[in-house]
Amino acid sequence: MQSNIVVQLKDAAVFQDKSLILSDINLTISEGEFSYLIGKTGSGKSSLLKTLYGALPLLRGAATVCGHDLAKLNRRTIPFLRRQLGIVFQDFNLLTDRNVRENLEFVLKATGWKDKKAMKERIDTVLLSVGMPDAHERQPHQLSGGEQQRIVIARALLNKPTLIIADEPTGNLDPETSDDILTLLRDLSIHNNTAVLFATHDYRILQHFPARIIRCQNGKVLDEENFLV
């Protein structure tokens, strides 16, 4: 039985303003699949990710993400796409004047949740899933970098995403903590059947935790499957 396709690009191109960054992209990512996105600085990794979550428009080719046609996205429909995505950045972007529970409640309310009991249960579930079950009342400044990133991942999980897009999520972390975050995301991919696209420049991670590699290079996107760096 074929896995459901979460990301599919056919002869697509990525533009930043009017500059062509990547062309002739043919790429498929399936449900529950963990993939690395690699490439040198300026190779187009972030621009590709921004296209996938609707921050850059698709101007050429065909692409669907979580069933949404990227060529037809507009201000009204982009939020519906993003509710099916979990997005994790290098910078944590937690609200510094709110505790962990309030940070997570803010996202739930912003995405249409109203039932307080359901919100509490969902927050409990995601914090448990990232190994932070007792963090509800802690402030961001009381957390280590690795703990903050776990909360960011919990935040990304709130709406049960079909795809997690992680843009250099370990860039500010030490190697041991980076390994913990990587392991967490891989485990979540397996247990939740969530696709994960993990952009990184840390080749040490690729060597220790091999998986499918998608490489941005010379204006192209190369699918290297389980290539070991």
The pLDDT score that the predictor gives to residue 126 is 96
The pLDDT score that the predictor gives to residue 2 is 47
Q: Helix, strand, or coil here: 190?
A: helix
Residue spans of the domains in the chain: they are 1-84+163-177+194-229, 92-160
Predicted TM-score (pTM) of the model is 0.91
**HEC profile for 108-168?**
HHHCCCCCHHHHHHHHHHHHHHCCCCCCCCCCHHHCCHHHHHHHHHHHHHCCCCCEEEEEC
Give the distance from CA 224 to its chain's centroid. Answer: 20
Q: Average pLDDT by consecutive 10-residue portion of the chain (229 residues)?
A: 82 93 96 95 93 94 96 92 90 91 94 93 96 96 94 94 94 90 93 94 89 95 67
The pLDDT score that the predictor gives to residue 220 is 95
The pLDDT score that the predictor gives to residue 1 is 34
Give the distance from CA 157 to its chain's centroid. Answer: 10
Q: Helix, strand, or coil here: 128?
A: helix
- At residue 18's C-alpha, the angle toward residues 15 and 21, to 5°, is 35
In whole angstroms, what is the distance from residue 21 CA to residue 210 CA?
27
The pLDDT score that the predictor gives to residue 89 is 86
Q: What is the domain class of 1-84+163-177+194-229 according to CATH?
A: alpha beta
The pLDDT score that the predictor gives to residue 3 is 64
In whole angstroms, what is the distance from residue 107 CA to residue 156 CA?
9
Q: Helix, strand, or coil here: 105?
A: helix
The pLDDT score that the predictor gives to residue 225 is 62
